[in-house]
C-alpha cells in the first residue's frame, strides 16, 4: 500500500518526503486556504518535491468548467491529477478527461455505488472519505471493504485512495483490507511513527550504554 500526504503545507511535505515513505500528495481548496498558499505555484512546488501523483481540485461545478480548469491544472506538471467531486457533472467531466489522457481523482465518495460509477466513467483514483462517514455513525472502513471487493470482482483498474483519515487505526484497517493508497494528514503520520514502548526502549538502551561506557 502507498501513503500519500493530505496537506498543502510545504514544510510538512518536505519533512515527510525526507522519511522516504511518501509517494504522493492530495490537496483541496480548504487545505490550500489553511496553508495560505497560491494555488498554481503551490501545486508546482509540491510536484517538484514529491515527484509523484499530486491531486489538485477543480472549483467549477459544471462539466464544461471542470474540464477547462482541469486542462489548465494538468499543464502545471506531469504529476498533477485532477480532483473531481462525484456527481452527474463530475462523471461527465471524468469521462472527457479520461479520453484526453488526463488522470482524475474522484473525491467526496461516501458509498460503494458512487465509487463504482466513478470507476466506470474512467477515474484513475476514487477517494472514499472514511472519517466523515464515521462522524455520522456509519462504518467508513466497511465502505472501503465493499469498494475493494467490487473492484476485485470485475478487475477494475481504478485505485482506491482512503481519505479523511483521522487516526493511525484507519491506515492499518485500510492496509488490512487491501486499499491501494491511504492519504494521511501529517499529524496522523507522526502518530504512526511513535509508540511509548519504543521511546522507553531507546531511553533504556541509552542508559545502559552510558553505564557500560560504550562509544562508537
- pLDDT one-digit tens code per residue, 178-199: 999 999 999 999 999 999 999 9
Helix (H, G, I), strand (E, B) or coil at 149: helix
Angle of the 186-193 helix axis to the 10-18 helix axis, nearest 10: 30
User: What domains can be seen in the chain, in order of their start residue?
Assistant: 2-212 (3.20.20.70)
For the segment 30-48, the average pLDDT, to the nearest whole number, is 92
Structural element, H or E, at residue 3? strand 2-6
68-80 confidence digits (pLDDT tens): 999 999 999 999 9
Alpha carbons within 13 angstroms on the beta-carbon side of residue 38 total 4
Report the alpha-carbon distance of residue 34 to residue 149 in Å, rounded.
Answer: 35
pLDDT above 70: percentage of residues in the chain: 100
Identify the sign of the CA torsion 83, 85, 88, 91: positive
Q: How confident is the model at residue 170 (pLDDT cuts 50, 70, 90)?
A: very high
pLDDT above 90: percentage of residues in the chain: 97
pLDDT at 119: 98
The pTM (predicted TM-score) of the whole model is 0.96
170 dihedral zone (left: phi>0; alpha: psi -120 to 50; beta): alpha
119-151 confidence digits (pLDDT tens): 999 999 999 999 999 999 999 999 999 999 999
Is pLDDT of 152 > 90? yes
Residues that are catalytic? 83
Q: How confident is the model at residue 103 (pLDDT cuts 50, 70, 90)?
A: very high
Helix (H, G, I), strand (E, B) or coil at 60: coil
Are 4 and 182 in contact by the 8 Å Cβ rule? The answer is yes
Sequence-distant (≥ 6) Cβ neighbours of residue 46 within 8 angstroms: 8, 10, 13, 25, 27, 54
Q: Is 151 exposed, middle or buried (0-12, 13-18, 19+ CB in 10 A)?
A: buried
pLDDT at 36: 87
Is pLDDT of 38 > 90? no
pLDDT at 90: 98
Sequence-distant (≥ 6) Cβ neighbours of residue 6 within 8 angstroms: 25, 26, 27, 31, 163, 165, 183, 184, 185
pLDDT at 174: 98
Is pLDDT of 37 > 90? no
Q: Is 197 exposed, middle or buried (0-12, 13-18, 19+ CB in 10 A)?
A: exposed
Among residues 55, 33, 46, the alpha carbon closest in space to that of 181 is found at 55
Sequence-distant (≥ 6) Cβ neighbours of residue 198 within 8 angstroms: none
For the segment 97-101, the average pLDDT, to the nearest whole number, is 98
Amino acid at each position: 500500500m502507498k501513503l500519500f500526504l493530505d496537506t498543502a503545507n510545504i514544510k510538512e511535505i518536505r519533512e515527510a518526503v525526507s522519511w522516504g515513505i511518501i509517494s504522493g500528495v492530495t490537496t483541496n481548496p480548504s487545505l490550500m486556504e489553511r496553508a495560505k498558499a497560491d494555488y498554481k505555484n503551490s501545486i508546482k512546488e509540491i510536484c517538484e518535491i514529491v515527484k509523484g501523483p499530486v491531486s489538485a481540485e477543480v472549483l467549477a461545478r459544471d462539466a464544461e468548467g471542470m474540464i477547462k480548469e482541469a486542462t489548465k491544472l494538468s499543464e502545471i506538471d506531469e504529476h498533477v491529477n485532477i480532483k473531481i467531486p462525484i456527481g452527474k457533472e463530475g462523471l461527465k467531466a471524468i469521462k472527457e478527461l479520461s479520453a484526453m489522457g488526463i488522470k482524475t481523482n474522484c473525491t467526496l465518495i461516501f458509498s460503494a455505488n458512487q465509487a463504482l460509477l466513478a470507476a466506470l466513467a474512467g477515474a484513475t483514483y476514487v477517494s472514499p472519505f472514511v472519517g466523515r462517514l464515521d462522524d455520522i455513525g456509519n462504518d467508513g472502513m466497511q465502505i472501503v471493504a465493499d469498494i475493494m471487493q467490487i473492484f476485485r470482482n470485475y478487475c477494475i483498474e481504478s485505485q482506491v485512495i482512503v481519505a479523511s483519515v483521522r487516526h493511525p487505526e484507519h491506515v492499518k484497517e485500510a492496509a488490512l483490507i487491501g486499499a491501494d493508497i491511504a492519504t494521511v494528514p501529517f499529524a496522523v503520520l507522526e502518530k504512526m511513527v511513535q509508540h511509548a514502548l519504543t521511546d522507553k526502549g531507546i531511553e533504556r538502551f541509552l542508559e545502559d550504554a552510558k553505564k557500560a561506557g560504550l562509544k562508537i
